[in-house]
Amino acid sequence: MVFKAKQWDYLKRAWHLTPREIKVAKLVCQDYDNKRISQKLNVSYNTVRAHLGNIFRKVGVNSKASLILTFIEILQKVKV
């Protein structure tokens, strides 16, 4: 799932996501697994897991699928 720049800006503000968390979330929405995310961002696998944990906590979800669905639902409600 690919969102527009203004949609990412809204999601970033809504949950106070850091720039790195947004990069990780974008890759999750493009169906990257943790290993590919770590390679793409040149960080360790555990760093990716830490970022995902922070994202999940902030958004209030516990999986990548729930994260994407929540993003879609929120963006549809606010019509960004």
**DSSP SS3 for 15:** helix
pLDDT in tens, the chain (80 residues): 789 999 999 999 999 999 999 999 999 999 999 999 999 999 999 999 999 999 999 999 999 999 999 999 999 999 88
pLDDT of residue 70: 97
Nearest to 59 by CA among 48, 50, 70: 70
Token pair for 34: 């943790």
Q: CB–CB of 37/27 below 8 Å?
A: yes
Domains and CATH numbers, the chain: 5-78 (1.10.10.10)
pLDDT of residue 27: 97
Can you give the pTM of this predicted structure? 0.93
